[in-house]
Amino acid sequence: MSESGKKLDVRGMFCPSPALQTTVELSKMQVGEILTVLADDPAAEDDITELCHKRGHELLELKKNDKDLEFTIKKIK
């Protein structure tokens, strides 16, 4: 993880909370910073992926480990 990286753990939260929390966290960050989001709500996969597309952020990676999802998002604007 880069020095500018931040981590957001939304495990245990359900739609739409993971996406909302991700939006709030990204809004506090600088362009180019990396946010790692940990989620376990199956709906978060579509919600957070869509959030990135709609808001213009780059989803660098999505790792799946059983029920856990790990998103690596780069703030673009």
- The set of catalytic residues is 15
**Element (DSSP H or E) covering residue 22:** helix 17-27
CA atoms within 13 A on the CB side of 13: 19
How far is C-alpha 77 from the chain's CA centre? 15
Q: Which two tokens stand for residue 6?
A: 């931040």
